[in-house]
Structure 1
Amino acid sequence: MAKYLFLKHYRGAPASVNDVPMDQWTPAEIDAHMKYMDDFADRLKESGEYVASQALAYEGAWVRYGGEGEPAITDGPFAETKDLIAGFMIVDVDSYERAVELAGELSAAPGAGGRPIHEWLELRPFMGSPTTVTE
């Protein structure tokens, strides 16, 4: 088994012709999207492939070591930016191919008008997890 991270990005501007920024979705469209995500996670819990997932708030801060004293902190990221990390899911699967299959399915979550949003998900193996990435 190998653990993979699906990193979900929120794009404030359309990434494809099927994409409408989430801030323009109706409440019903947002509910349908969230239900799809919850149902997907529930199915992976039943198969034993689910590890964790969480949506992330749009507000945050950048923090780094500031030398002597307190860490340096700046505001951001901001919801107005074109690309924010909106959430993540961690799966524990038998192969890279299975991780790709699941990420593709998750990418089909509905958006505006109930159409799949075809979002790009960043797929990252955990350090130390065996991978079979092929081109």
Structure 2
Amino acid sequence: MAKYLLLKHYRGAPAAVNDVPMDQWTPDEISAHLQYMRDFADKINATGEFVDSQALSSEGAWVRYDGEGRPPVTDGPFAETKDLIAGWMIIDVDSYERAIELAGELSAAPGKDGKPIHEWLEVRPFYGNSPTITE
């Protein structure tokens, strides 16, 4: 088993087939999207592949050490940026192929008008877990 981080990228500018910004969705569309995410997590929890997940706020700050006193802080990220990490999920699966399969399924979460949003997910193995690619 190897752990992977699935980073959910929210794109503010339409780039995918149904990439309508979430602020243009109805409350029912948002509820359906969130329910899909819960159902997906429940499904892979039953198989022992789910570890954890969390949605992220669009509020935040950039911080870096500058070698002096208090580190500089810059507001951001901002929801109106082209790309924002909207959340993450940690999975523990048998293979890289399974991680890709689950990311593809998660990418099909419904959005505007109930159509799959084709959301971009970044699939990253945890450090020290080299993915085994059998293609």
TM-score (norm 2): 0.95
Paired position in structure 2 for 1:31 = 31
Paired position in structure 2 for 1:90 = 90
Paired position in structure 2 for 1:13 = 13
Contact in 1 for aligned 2:14/2:20 (Cα 8 Å) = yes
Give the Cα separation in 1 of the matches to 2:15 and 2:38. 23
Give the Cα separation in 2 of the matches to 1:127 and 1:17. 33
Of the structure 1 ranges 12-21 and 81-90, higher mean CA displacement relative to structure 2 is found in 12-21
Of the structure 1 ranges 121-130 and 10-19, higher mean CA displacement relative to structure 2 is found in 10-19
Paired position in structure 2 for 1:69 = 69
Q: How far is 1:130 from its partner? A: 3.2
Partner of 2:99, secondary structure, is helix
Give the Cα separation in 2 of the matches to 1:74 and 1:110. 33
Give the Cα separation in 1 of the matches to 2:124 and 2:71. 28
Q: Aligned pair count?
A: 135
Q: Any gaps of 5 or more consecutive residues in structure 2?
A: none
Paired position in structure 2 for 1:106 = 106
Give the Cα separation in 1 of the matches to 2:94 and 2:17. 34
Percent identity of the aligned residues?
76
Paired position in structure 1 for 2:56 = 56
Q: Any gaps of 5 or more consecutive residues in structure 1?
A: none
Partner of 1:86, secondary structure, is strand
- Superposed structure 1 runs of 4+ greater than 6 Å apart: none
Q: How far is 1:134 from its partner? A: 5.7
Q: How far is 1:14 from its partner? A: 1.0
